[in-house]
Each structure stands twice: as structure tokens, then as C-alpha cells.
Amino acid sequence: GQQLNQSPQSMFIQEGEDVSMNCTSSSIFNTWLWYKQDPGEGPVLLIALYKAGELTSNGRLTAQFGITRKDSFLNISASIPSDVGIYFCAGCSNDYKLSFGAGTTVTVRA
């Protein structure tokens, strides 16, 4: 299957900080998606991107579809405690399945 490299693997946030994570692939994708998983739940779709260069926001979240179609990033602005969780990127090159990154675990800094 296609490999997505997601980084960082984990990060600590302090309330009010802006944080960023990204995903790269050796293959071209037609669609990039970002999901968040809370403990004990399934991943929930945050943002979907369909066009190279596209920049899309959902509240404090902003994601971009890289111009080469091989990467995407997700920014969270002014983070709050409920932003903790695992964030997954996913890419789609056909309509049959998504390939997922390994996830970025976001934790609150004590």
C-alpha cells in the first residue's frame, strides 16, 4: 500500500499556541483528508481537500493540499485543551480506499 509519512509523531501543546503537523507521500493523491480521533472513539473527518494548492479552514483548523499533490499540512491556531487527541492524515488516489498516516498524538503540556 501507499506509505504516508506523518510528522511529528507526537507533540505537546500549551493552551493558546499554534501547532502544525504535516504529511508527505511518495505518490500523488487526488484527495487529502484530515481526521481526529478522541480516546475510545473512531476518527472523525475534520477537513477534506480536493485541489492542489487548496487552503481550507474549519474553525481554528486550516489545512492545505500541497502543490505537488504529495503533501498536506494541518494547522491548529490558538489551541485549547479539547484539541488533544490523535490526528491522522489520509490520501486517496482512487475511489476505493484511503491510505492513512501513522498519526500525530497531541497532548497538553503540564
Burial class (CB in 10 A: 0-12, 13-18, 19+), 44: exposed
48 binds another protein (CB under 8 A): yes
Output 102 or 108, the one with its CB closest to another protein: 102
59 binds another protein (CB under 8 A): no
Cα separation, 49 vs 12, in Å, equals 26
Sign of CA dihedral 68, 22, 64, 47: positive
H, E, C per residue of 33-89: EEEEECCCCCCEEEEEECCCCCEEEECCEEEEECCCCCEEEEEECCCCHHHCEEEEE
Least CB distance to another protein at residue 25 (A): 15
Q: According to CB under 8 A, which one of 16, 26, 81, 96 is a site residue for another protein? A: 96
Binding mask 70-89 for another protein (x = CB under 8 A): ----------------x-x-
Segment near another protein (CB under 8 A), from 11-19, 57-65, 66-74, 98-106? Answer: 98-106
Query: Where do contacts with another protein occur on this chain (CB under 8 A)?
Result: 1, 30-31, 33, 35, 37, 40-45, 48, 50, 86, 88, 90, 92, 94-98, 100, 102-103, 105
